Amino acid sequence: YRKVIDLLENSELQDEEEEIEMKKLLSKAYQNLAICYNRENLPRQACMACHQAPYKTSKTHF
């Protein structure tokens, strides 16, 4: 998930629609990364991943 996040954060966007789509994908990637950290018993990294998600959902807070 870290590679996906790096690619999305460093991508060049052409318009606002692409930015919205990128933020949605980033949110999903950060949420999945947080889940992985929780499963590896790394709660601090999980919290940091949740805080970095642009759009926070109920899944982010769970």
pLDDT digits (tens, 9 = 90+) for 4-57: 999 999 999 999 999 999 999 999 999 999 999 999 999 999 999 999 998 887
Q: What's residue 56's pLDDT?
A: 84
pLDDT at 60 over 90: no
pTM (predicted TM-score):
0.85
Query: Which residue carries 């990128």 as its tokens?
Result: 22
Domain that holds residue 53: 2-61
Are 32 and 58 contacting, i.e. CB atoms less than 8 angstroms apart?
no
40 Cα distance to chain centroid = 17
Does pLDDT of 59 surpass 80? no
11 vs 38: CA distance, rounded Å: 28
Task: Please state the domain count of the chain.
Answer: 1
**pLDDT band at residue 62 using 50, 70 and 90 as cut-offs:** low
